[in-house]
Amino acid sequence: MSEDPSDTRVAFVLAAGLGTRMRSRTPKVLHHAAGRPLLSHVLDTVAAIRARPVVVLSRESEPARAIVPADVTVAVQEPPRGTGDAVRVALDATDARSGRGFVIYGDTVLVRPATLERLASLLDERAAVLAILTGVTGTDNAYGRIVRGPGGDVERIVEVRVARPEERAIPESNFGAYAADLAWLRAAVPKLRANETGEVFLTDLVKVAKDEGRTVAALCVDDASEGLGVNTRADLALIDGILRERIRERHMEHGVTFVDPASSSVDAGVEIAPDAVIERGSILEGRTRVGTGSRIGPYSIVRDSVVGERCRVEASMIEGATLEDDVRIGPFSHLRPGAYLERGVEMGNFGEVKASRLGAGTKMHHFSYVGDAALGKNVNVGAGTITLNFDGANKNRTVVGDDAFIGSDTLLRAPVKVGAGAATGAGAIVTKDVPDGMLAVGMPARAIKKYERPKKRT
Ligand code: UD1
Ligand code: CA
């Protein structure tokens, strides 16, 4: 089915600028806010309004291509000669002739999809060729100033760099998001001329439209954050904070409890199920998922990990790990990449697990290290147990069978296997496999007799 060309939506995302004020070797749009590059946030917004993106890059911002999905058109503006010139380059890279053209600056990450939709509707309502997003921001900033005519319509946008004092005193600002009739935009952009700064300003489109007797509509929004662009590191910090506040609000709306919300931070890609509780001072990063009924924190870091339902992660660090349901971690434990904890595992103080599987119901309560190991179900890992997984050259595996009892301060020199239902005495240094059901003691540990688990005192 071919789409109606008048329904076509193209969004030009301008990201060729030098970002000089960031003082960085990294292109501006690759700096992160809420755990994602700025450009990715903008591309999400474009996707939300179902517009086809065309991203404008330059030689300097070329590294940003790495995060642009393969099906997105990239146009190269070299050298970057201003925002108007960038849209010219973007138009050359697409064959869409009619429909709607949006222009969004790659550093303006807080503009909402709903706001862009309102801009597009405004084009129809006012029979306008161009609709611009504005807000009242006061005068202590570098935004372009909105000059309105006697009838209240926008006459011009004046950049602060070239504004006269009375124009600089205008508190209404250009927020840098636009919707335009695409056919008109194609005809209008070539009419833009470089100004005294040598740059081609997109904002001069207003004057082009006015000179043709066309209508330019403006949407003045209350939420000034929508106009915030990242020009400096301070802007980046501000925007990161606002994005994270929005993210927490979204999770709260979906049924997640935050204790002292501002003390926790959640990346854009994190999923949290309803009835999870994020306690004070917790940091959820990357591709993390948290199941219903789980409590994270206080003071935990969870990065690129899956946490099941009804888990508890207290004052601990979890990275690249998977927790099934009903797992308890902490306080003060560290799960590293490849840690997989089955249902009901308990891991207490000062434990570290790396590239290991712990079977259901296994308990590891006090200061232990388990690396490159597979522990069965209901294993008891005594205080101070250490897998000696590294022989100086290679990583070796430790295997412990179901229901084994590892005595306190056991060293397991890998590769080594402790059988199902076997046990080690306190301080054992296990250098040879322990058969199923046997007790091994000493240094090096010798299997001395059949192991019988003591009865619980009543
Ligand atoms: C721009 C607007 C200003 C508005 C402000 C809102 C112009 C002339 N000015 O100013 O009215 O108040 O945004 O945030 O448009 N870019 C290119 N190619 C270029 C130049 C810039 O792709 O040749 C890109 C940049 O990478 C950036 C965006 O366009 O993502 C905006 O450029 P920037 O230099 O940040 O413009 P401002 O000075 O902030
Ligand atoms: Ca900017």
Report how far residue 420's alpha carbon sits from residue 359's, in angstroms, rounded to the nearest whole number.
Answer: 12
Comparing C-alpha atoms, which of 157, 273, 152 is closest to residue 209? 157
CA–centroid distance, residue 55 to ligand 1 (Å) = 14
Residue-level pLDDT at 2: 52
Ligand nearest to the CA of 145: 1
- Mean pLDDT, all residues of the chain: 96
CA–centroid distance, residue 11 to ligand 2 (Å) = 17
Ligand nearest to the CA of 159: 1
What number is the average pLDDT over the span 3-13? 84
Quick: pLDDT tens for 326-345.
999 999 999 999 999 999 99
Ligand 1: residue whose CA is nearest its atom 36: 83
Using pLDDT thresholds of 50, 70 and 90, give the confidence band for residue 1.
very low
Q: Which of 31, 41, 251, 366 is catalytic?
A: 366
Q: Does the Cβ of 451 fall within 6 Å of ligand 1?
A: no
- State the pairing for strand pair 438-442/445-450: antiparallel
**Long-range contacts for 324-330 (Cβ within 8 Å, ≥24 apart)?**
324/360, 325/291, 330/300
CA–centroid distance, residue 221 to ligand 2 (Å) = 18
Q: Does the Cβ of 201 fall within 6 Å of ligand 1?
A: yes
Ligand nearest to the CA of 199: 1
Q: Does the Cβ of 134 fall within 6 Å of ligand 1?
A: no
Residue-level pLDDT at 196: 84
Using pLDDT thresholds of 50, 70 and 90, give the confidence band for residue 7.
confident
Phi, then psi, of 154 in degrees rounded to 5 = -70, 130
Residues 6+ apart with CB under 8 A from 215: 126, 127, 128, 129, 153, 209
What number is the average pLDDT over the span 395-403? 98
Using pLDDT thresholds of 50, 70 and 90, give the confidence band for residue 458.
confident
Q: Which residues in 210-219 are b (16+ Cβ under 10 Å) and which e?
A: beeebebbbb
CB atoms within 10 A of CB 175: 29
Ligand 1: residue whose CA is nearest its atom 11: 144
Ligand 1: residue whose CA is nearest its atom 34: 17
Residue-level pLDDT at 345: 98
% of the chain with per-residue pLDDT over 70: 99
Indicate which atom in ligand 1 lies nearest the CA of residue 86: 18
CA–centroid distance, residue 15 to ligand 2 (Å) = 10
Q: Does the Cβ of 107 fall within 6 Å of ligand 1?
A: yes
Q: Does the Cβ of 15 fall within 6 Å of ligand 1?
A: yes
Report how far residue 304's alpha carbon sits from residue 271's, in angstroms, rounded to the nearest whole number.
Answer: 11
What number is the average pLDDT over the span 11-39? 95
Give the residue carrying structure tokens 């999770």.
251
DSSP state, residue 390: B
For the record, the structure tokens of 55 come out as: 């991203």
- State the pairing for strand pair 257-258/277-278: parallel
β-pair partners for 285: 303
Tell me whether residue 170 is exposed, middle or buried, using C-beta atoms within 10 angstroms of its C-beta: 0 to 12, 13 to 18, 19 or more.
middle
CB atoms within 10 A of CB 457: 4
- Catalytic status, residue 366: yes
Phi, then psi, of 369 in degrees rounded to 5 = -125, 125
Report how far residue 339's alpha carbon sits from residue 58's, in angstroms, rounded to the nearest whole number.
Answer: 42
What number is the average pLDDT over the span 130-153? 95
Q: Does the Cβ of 103 fall within 6 Å of ligand 1?
A: no
Q: Is the pLDDT of residue 296 over 50?
A: yes
For the record, the structure tokens of 136 come out as: 């009242």
CA–centroid distance, residue 174 to ligand 1 (Å) = 11
CA atoms within 13 A on the CB side of 291: 16
Phi, then psi, of 19 in degrees rounded to 5 = 60, 35
Residues 6+ apart with CB under 8 A from 163: 145
Q: Which of 54, 55, 76, 83 to mutate for ligand 1's pocket (most ligand atoms within 8 Å of CB)?
A: 83
Q: Is the pLDDT of residue 96 over 70?
A: yes
CA–centroid distance, residue 89 to ligand 2 (Å) = 19
Residue-level pLDDT at 4: 65
Q: Judge whether 422 and 401 are in contact, CB under 8 Å.
A: yes
Residue-level pLDDT at 197: 85
Tell me how long the chain is: 458
> In sequence order, what DSSP letters do the residues of 31-47 get, joined into one string?
SEETTEEHHHHHHHHHH
Q: Is the pLDDT of residue 30 over 70?
A: yes
Using pLDDT thresholds of 50, 70 and 90, give the confidence band for residue 18.
confident
Ligand nearest to the CA of 173: 1
Q: Does the Cβ of 229 fall within 6 Å of ligand 1?
A: yes
Q: Is the pLDDT of residue 423 over 50?
A: yes
Q: Is the pLDDT of residue 224 over 60?
A: yes
- State the pairing for strand pair 32-33/36-37: antiparallel
What number is the average pLDDT over the span 17-32? 93
Report how far residue 136's alpha carbon sits from residue 228's, in angstroms, rounded to the nearest whole number.
Answer: 12
Q: Does the Cβ of 77 fall within 6 Å of ligand 1?
A: yes
What number is the average pLDDT over the span 106-123? 97
Ligand nearest to the CA of 38: 1
Report how far residue 166's alpha carbon sits from residue 55's, in angstroms, rounded to the nearest whole number.
Answer: 36
Q: Does the Cβ of 143 fall within 6 Å of ligand 1?
A: yes
Ligand 1: residue whose CA is nearest its atom 21: 17
Indicate which atom in ligand 1 lies nearest the CA of residue 143: 12
Comparing C-alpha atoms, which of 319, 342, 314, 308 is closest to residue 329? 314
Q: Does the Cβ of 157 fall within 6 Å of ligand 1?
A: yes
- State the pairing for strand pair 130-136/154-158: unpaired
For the record, the structure tokens of 18 come out as: 């030098």
DSSP state, residue 3: P
CA–centroid distance, residue 105 to ligand 1 (Å) = 6
CA–centroid distance, residue 13 to ligand 2 (Å) = 12
